[in-house]
Amino acid sequence: VSGYDTTDEGETLDSDDLSDVSTSDNKRYTSDSTWAAASGFDDAEYIEFTFNPGVQAGSTIQDVNIVNEYSLNSRATVVARLETWSADTNSWSVVSLTSSSGTTDVTDTLNLFATINSVNAVNNFKVRFQMYISSGTAKKSRHDLIRLGVKYLPP
């Protein structure tokens, strides 16, 4: 897994940052900067994670899901989503997330099989977390877990 945060000047996540999001253990990656109070998403602001699970060519993909766990650094009302990349269609799909309202983690497990269902799509998978503050002042997001789950039959 690799990662990139555009909430400030653009920053590649280092191994410590990536370790913070590898398990649900209350060690969190905090966004580089705050997410703005706004009425919609800013497509230039996101935290992106790129996965390459190395599924063998010729395998049959049976199921794909992603687990995302996040919270805020203080209380606010937010709208959050994931954009998932399909290498098969060269396009992003939007998946809404449960909105966090404070420092308590919110966990979503989302089935992606409708759009991520081939070896190519799985092995080139990217996901972008995006958020805006719908009520309150700018806040940072805190990320405890981002995990791609793939069930497949090898050739």
pLDDT in tens, 87-137: 999 999 999 999 888 889 999 999 999 999 999 999 999 999 999 999 888
Whether the pLDDT of residue 28 is over 90: the answer is yes
Q: What is the pTM of this model?
A: 0.95
**Predicted confidence band of residue 84 (pLDDT cuts 50, 70, 90):** very high
Instruction: Give the model's pLDDT for residue 137.
Output: 87
Task: Give the pLDDT of residue 136.
Answer: 84
List, in sequence order, every beta strand (DSSP E) within 32-125.
47-50, 60-72, 77-86, 91-96, 106-111
Q: Round the CA-based radius of gyration of the chain to a whole number and report it.
A: 15
